[in-house]
Structure formats: structure tokens, C-alpha cells
Amino acid sequence: MLSIKNLHASVEDKQILKGLNLEVKAGEVHAIMGPNGAGKSTLGNVLAGRESYEVSEGSALLDGVDLLDLSPEDRAREGLFLAFQYPVEIPGVSNINFLKTAVNDIREYKGLPPMEAKEFLQMVKDKQKLVEFSANLANRSLNEGFSGGEKKRNEIFQLAMLNPKLSILDETDSGLDIDALRIVANGVNELRSKDNAFIVITHYQRLLDYIVPDFVHVLYNGRIVKSGPKELALELEEKGYDWLKEYDTQNA
């Protein structure tokens, strides 16, 4: 589904990603771990199309379409979803209006007519239930006054509404207490299917107890230096990241 080859990216002339390769197939969950500054969030932002990141080399194909050639909105319309590490508060933009615009813009891209109001509201209700997000969204501005946990849960709710092919969760576990973490993870597990895939970016193994990955990758100094089964996460938790330095020099 997703095929990243030799991806090089920089921000403000600082090289962050230095030849990253990653293959993700439909139905899989991949975890990406690594120390601060390794390039984990950069990967999510580069794929989503944040302007401040400059791609100098490589490709990122989503079902054969090179995402790097597209505007951020077209990447989303092709089925990419980035759950933000820091979701933005936008006073004055209502949650419902925002979702309706997003859903219908994506439908338009796919040549589908706008969704009927009734059908849309029913979907909001169903998906809220599915991801256990009970916040009253009517007449409330996007993320305004939401707690950290509510914002993250709203990201998962949006994910449920937009039904992307590939979702990237960028440190969705950061700042969550154990109950919120469980709810967020349950939401993701509900949404997992044979047709979609997830990349879970995290610092801590804790989240992976709830969202069990098929593969764990270690990102270090802009490259994936080690990949393995879910047990690799436990090893990292135990040993830290220092021992990875040798991998880095070996591969250099």
C-alpha cells in the first residue's frame, strides 16, 4: 500500500531524513520508534505535506500514486491521514462544519455527490460511539477548550469519519493518561481492517500493549536501522537507544 524509497528530507536546511525505506501492506500495523530528533515526526509531516519540509530525494507511493507530488489536501483525498501530535484549536470553525467540509471535499475528489445531512449526522453519531468519543460537538469550535486527551480522541474520531487507507498516528499517546490511552487504542483497533494500514509513531512501548503492531522499526539518525517483530519494542524499552549507535555507523 505504502512504499517509501530512499526518502531524504530537510527542514530549514537541516537534513533530517537520510534515505528512509519502508514498505507497508494493507492490513498491517507498523510501529516506528526511536530517540528524540531521529526524524519520527518529520516522517509524518513530510508524508502529509507540511510546507516547511523540503524533500530532496526519494519517493513515497500510496497505491502507486506519488504523494510527494500532491498538495496536502490531495494526499488526504488519496487516503492518507495524519493524526497530529499537537492538534490545532480553531475558534470559530465548528467541529461539525469542519467535518462536513472535509467529508464532502474528499467525496467530490472521488466523484461522489455530497452526503445528505441526515446521513452525515447519523455517521457522526455512529463513529463517535465506535471510538468512545462522547464530547458534544454541536455548536462547539474545533478543538477549542478540549483537554489534551479530548484533542487526541478527536483525531481518532476524525480518522473514523474520513476512513483513510493509511493512517499515521504521530505520538498520539503523548500526554495521555492510561484510561485515555486505552480508549484511543480501542478506537484504532475498532478501525483496523484488512483494507487499511497504520503507522504508529511513538516513544514508548506502552501504547503497543494496546495497539499490537505487526512490525516495529527503529528510526535513528534519519534512517530505519532495525526492523523486527513486536518483541523488538520490549527490547528497546529495556535497553534504550544507545546501543543503536553501532547500527548507525555500520550502515553508514
Residues at the site binding another protein, with contacts judged by CB under 8 A: 48-51, 71-73, 75-77, 82, 84, 87-88, 90-93, 97-98, 101-102, 105-106, 109, 141, 158, 162
As measured in angstroms, the least distance from the Cβ of 145 to another protein is 15
As measured in angstroms, the least distance from the Cβ of 72 to another protein is 4
As measured in angstroms, the least distance from the Cβ of 165 to another protein is 13
Using the minimum distance from each CB to another protein, give the nearer residue, 112 or 212: 112
H or E element, residue 156: helix 148-162
Using the minimum distance from each CB to another protein, give the nearer residue, 90 or 234: 90
H or E element, residue 53: strand 53-62
As measured in angstroms, the least distance from the Cβ of 78 to another protein is 9
As measured in angstroms, the least distance from the Cβ of 45 to another protein is 9
Using the minimum distance from each CB to another protein, give the nearer residue, 91 or 240: 91
Using the minimum distance from each CB to another protein, give the nearer residue, 71 or 249: 71
H or E element, residue 5: strand 2-11
Residue pair 159/133 in contact by the 8 Å Cβ criterion: no
Tell me, what amino acid is at 246? E
Using the minimum distance from each CB to another protein, give the nearer residue, 12 or 238: 12
Query: How far, CA to CA in Å, does 83 sit from each of 6, 129, 148?
Result: 24, 19, 13
The CA distance from 27 to 30, in Å, is 10
Which grid cell is 71? 498538495
Instruction: List all residues 6 or more positions away from 231 whose beta carbon is below 8 Å from its beta carbon.
Output: none
The CA distance from 111 to 235, in Å, is 47
Using the minimum distance from each CB to another protein, give the nearer residue, 104 or 227: 104
As measured in angstroms, the least distance from the Cβ of 132 to another protein is 21
* Cα radius of gyration (the chain): 18
Residue pair 37/222 in contact by the 8 Å Cβ criterion: no
